[in-house]
Amino acid sequence: MDGITLLEHDVRELIRRRGVDPLRDQAGLDALVRDALADYDERSLRGHVPPLADPQAAAKAVLDAVAGLGPLQPYLDDPEVEEIWINAPHQVFVARRGEAELTPTILTQGQVRDLVEQMLKVSGRRLDLSSPFVDAALPGGERLHVAIPDVTRREWAVNIRKYVVRAARVDDLVALGSLTPAAARFLAASVVAGLNVLVSGPTQAGKTTMLNALAGAIPPRERVITCEEVFELRIAHRDLVALQCRQPSLEGTGEITLRRLVKEALRMRPRRIVIGEVREAESLDMLIALNAGVPGMCTVHANSAREALTKVCTLPLLAGENVSAAFVVPTVASAIDLVVHLELDAQGRRRTREILAVPGRVENGVVETADVFRTGPDGVLRRADGFPPHADRYARAGIDLAALLRTGE
């Protein structure tokens, strides 16, 4: 065995003897590695073990193997890597600045399974033949998704999605080039005024980041309840309760769905409700919550702002046969005030494509819309001719809506 493998074996033995939790006791683990490294150096001087060419690099490799994700840890530590995925043990990919790369990392099937097991230890979620998918959050905030055979053909499919840049305010999105200053001022003012905002876009377009940034404009005195399948939002608010779904037990009991979370959130005295993403029938509960007088925000996958509205008009129909389009369409028109659509361009840049207003009217079964900001042929987001609904809410918040939109022209 080489020196790093021997050092790792010593560290794992010390962890077992001293009862150190490597995932929760970072200080204790660091001290333990230092002790093991000092002891190893003494033994190498006596010729009992091979010397380490770079002791500090060896200590880092051991820490990554014991408390991190081993061969994948360098990619987690790399600030430019946005996502890591494994198609097969010999196919480890990363997304760097929006571009996919095949890495030189080669694993074994046992390593892949051990890594997944280690990642799931803290989450408390399970993965087996009866539940071949798992969606979980890692301690660092990364989102993990795993699928195993026989859902996949042969190999385990693993995705780790990182959040490289966290925007706490819409001004942060301006600095990143995702939003213009005029559009940022308008969106922040709209959140303060209490408008309901739907954020749409394709996968990896930055919907969760936008939702985080918009939530940063919520007045500090308001109570915020968030509902997510897995904890992803990082909202810094003094009065905040975050809720996430729960998988069923081995007996098939105890499941908590997103629909249940939205219903429970309304019983927790919310002044704002933030829903991570709607995909199915929970969109009906979202619309009911927004129509209950509780301002809120949510994300949805869509190719454009208008397609997002169409999707939100369709998803509630999954809730049951007694839910009809005659009820859903006008409900969407009255519940959604703004749609912010994001895009991921060919160069991997995340940008706001359009901001659509929903005046609240329905014509021939179609929700009317108006462009407030639109991206022109030159690729720049500019003020259009539309106006948002609820001018009275802006006025009550002390916001001069006409002057606000005039600065964006």
Read off the CATH number of the domain in which 356 is found: 3.40.50.300
Beta-bridge partner residues of 383: 373
User: Lowest mean pLDDT: which of 17-21, 169-173, 357-361?
Assistant: 17-21
Residue 228 has pLDDT above 90, yes or no: yes
Listed residue (406, 331, 389, 48) closest to 193, CA to CA: 389
pLDDT tens profile 31-68: 888 888 888 888 888 888 888 888 888 888 888 888 77
* pLDDT score, position 14: 81
> Does 176 share its domain with 224?
yes
> Does 175 share its domain with 319?
yes
Residue 392 has pLDDT above 70, yes or no: yes
Tell which of 67, 98, 123 closes a domain.
67
The SS3 assignment for 244 reads strand
| Residue 213: band (very low, low, confident or very high) from pLDDT cuts 50, 70, 90 | very high
Residue 164 has pLDDT above 70, yes or no: no
Average pLDDT, integer, range 275-296: 90
| Residue 316: band (very low, low, confident or very high) from pLDDT cuts 50, 70, 90 | very high
Average pLDDT, integer, range 361-365: 90
> Does 225 share its domain with 270?
yes
- CA dist 281 and 163 (Å) reads 28
> Does 304 share its domain with 184?
yes
Average pLDDT, integer, range 302-317: 95
| Residue 168: band (very low, low, confident or very high) from pLDDT cuts 50, 70, 90 | confident
Q: Taking the model in full, what pTM does it have?
A: 0.83
Which runs of consecutive H residues, i.e. helices, occur in 177-322?
181-193, 207-215, 258-265, 282-290, 305-314
The SS3 assignment for 185 reads helix
* pLDDT score, position 1: 57
Q: Which two tokens stand for residue 95?
A: 């997304």
Tell which of 44, 67, 90 closes a domain.
67
Kindly report the average pLDDT of the chain as a whole number. 89
> Does 199 share its domain with 316?
yes
- CA dist 79 and 59 (Å) reads 21
Q: How many domains does the chain contain in total?
A: 3
> Does 306 share its domain with 342?
yes
Q: Which H or E element spans position 333?
A: helix 325-335
| Residue 90: band (very low, low, confident or very high) from pLDDT cuts 50, 70, 90 | very high
> Does 196 share its domain with 128?
no
Tell which of 134, 161, 188 closes a domain.
161
| Residue 409: band (very low, low, confident or very high) from pLDDT cuts 50, 70, 90 | low
> Does 45 share its domain with 120?
no
> Does 362 share its domain with 310?
yes
Residue 325 has pLDDT above 70, yes or no: yes
Q: Which two tokens stand for residue 13?
A: 């033995």
> Does 214 share its domain with 119?
no
Listed residue (354, 359, 351, 350) closest to 391, CA to CA: 359
* pLDDT score, position 192: 96
Strands (E), 11-156: 81-88, 91-96, 99-102, 133-137, 143-147
- CA dist 318 and 285 (Å) reads 12
Residue 316: which domain range?
A: 170-407
Average pLDDT, integer, range 181-187: 95
> Does 175 share its domain with 117?
no
> Does 45 share its domain with 99?
no
- CA dist 196 and 143 (Å) reads 26
| Dihedral over alpha carbons 108, 114, 115, 116 (to 10 degrees) | 110
Read off the CATH number of the domain in which 152 is found: 3.30.450.90
- Max mean pLDDT among 1-5, 122-126, 136-140 falls in 136-140
Cis bond upstream, residue 150 (ω within 30):
yes
How many Å separate Cα 235 from the centre of its chain? 12
Is 382 or 41 the better-scoring residue by pLDDT? Answer: 382
